[in-house]
Amino acid sequence: MTQDHPPLTEGVYYILLALFEARHGYGIMQLVEEMSKGRVRLGAGTIYGAIKTLLEREWIEALDGDGRKKEYIITTNGKKIVEYEILRLRELFDNGIRITKGDG
Amino acid sequence: MHKYRWGVNPYDIEKWINDMALQGWHLQKFTWTRFTFERGEKGSYIYRHDEIERLAAPYEDDYLEFLQAAGIELVDRSGNIVFFRKSASEGPFELYTDKKTKISNLSKKMTLLLSLLLLNLVFGITGLSGDFSGPATDWLGLTVNIANVLIVLLLIIPFFRLVRLRKQLKRDLDVFTD
């Protein structure tokens, strides 16, 4: 990919959005399903794999809680990535609307 | 109830275990070839397999807790294959919803199968030609080498089914995002 900010997968995009507030894995799973009105149902293995990759990239971080379940939250870097993705999605959306509905 | 099955392609095994569950037989424990089922309600659980990269590696506690919170139970583990189940009343259940993880799991499996295949093929062929080269036939060698060739024949179909499955997933990725 030659772009500076390659497109995120739908799963990663939603996981990052879910982590604007601290959540554990299951919390992410529930919120993503709710936000997408049941369309995006991420598998537990997929979420866990994504969490590990996002931690490595420092787009999210684990909170040192005393609770049993580990919680995660998005980092400043992660927020930047989401902003770029929103711009990209807007470009796709605008071009789509412009071409399919004239200048709409 | 015990059943015996040649467990090479985990996707085939998973389908079979889910078919058994629909008939009211629920997986309790398993080894590579032996599967133990117990009687239960028909179709009350959905079963999914997972593969752990290293044979002896345990699951991380975090992951198991996460699965538990999501209502997913660990059924049994044998080698690097693990079976999980979730109550069917809670809707569809998949451990992996992204194609990339599926593709990379398939690739690992294919590498393993291919190396077993080639190893047996080489030993089988070179062995067979050696067994008849001496003045007397080496019966022990012959038996071992015929077994080598049989293993090759047993592995070849599962291997090509995995190839086909991976190809299909890759083709989807050309058009659709993960």
B2 pLDDT above the threshold of 80: yes
- Same domain, yes or no, for B128 and B84? no
- Same domain, yes or no, for B27 and B60? yes
- Same domain, yes or no, for B123 and B145? yes
Interface test with A, best of B48, B53, B66 (most A CBs within 10 A): B66
Q: Where is pLDDT greater, at B55 or B71?
A: B71
Least confident interval from A17-21, B14-18, B24-28, B54-58: B54-58
- Same domain, yes or no, for B147 and B124? yes
Give the pLDDT of residue A103: 56
Give the pLDDT of residue B54: 62
- Same domain, yes or no, for B16 and B56? yes
Interface test with B, best of A39, A40, A46 (most B CBs within 10 A): A46
- Same domain, yes or no, for B69 and B119? no
Q: Which of B63, B92, B177 sits opposite A48 (nearest CB)?
A: B63
- Same domain, yes or no, for B85 and B9? yes
pLDDT in tens, B97-136: 888 888 888 898 889 889 999 999 998 888 888 777 777 7
pLDDT in tens, B19-33: 999 999 999 999 878
Give the pLDDT of residue A101: 83
Domains and CATH numbers, chain A: 10-100 (1.10.10.10)
Q: Where is pLDDT greater, at B85 or B131?
A: B85
Give the pLDDT of residue B138: 74
Distance CA B51, CA B14 (A): 12
Distance from CA of A101 to the nearest CA of B (A): 24
Confidence of residue B58 (pLDDT cuts 50, 70, 90): low
Distance CA B120, CA B108 (A): 19
Last residue of a domain, one of B90, B122, B152: B90
Mean pLDDT of B157-170: 90
Nearest chain A alpha carbon to B178: A9
Tally of structural domains, chain B: 2
Yes or no: say if A50 and A15 are a contact pair by the CB < 8 Å rule: yes
Q: Which residues contact A31 (CB under 8 A, 6 or more apart)?
A: A18, A23
Distance from CA of B166 to the nearest CA of A (A): 18
Last residue of a domain, one of B33, B55, B90: B90
Give the pLDDT of residue B154: 87
Q: Where is pLDDT greater, at B91 or B133?
A: B91
- Same domain, yes or no, for B134 and B69? no
- Same domain, yes or no, for B80 and B115? no
pLDDT in tens, A30-89: 999 999 999 999 999 899 989 999 999 999 999 986 666 789 999 999 999 999 999 999
Yes or no: say if A43 and B97 are a contact pair by the CB < 8 Å rule: yes
- Same domain, yes or no, for B6 and B85? yes
Give the pLDDT of residue A1: 47
Range of the domain at B139: 99-175
Distance CA B161, CA B173 (A): 19
Interface test with B, best of A8, A26, A89 (most B CBs within 10 A): A26
Last residue of a domain, one of B90, B125, B141: B90
Nearest chain A alpha carbon to B63: A48
Distance CA A86, CA B126 (A): 61
- Same domain, yes or no, for B79 and B107? no
pTM metric for this prediction: 0.79
- Same domain, yes or no, for B84 and B45? yes
Q: Where is pLDDT greater, at B33 or B45?
A: B45
Residues of chain A neighbouring B62 (CB-CB closer than 8 A): 25, 48, 69-70
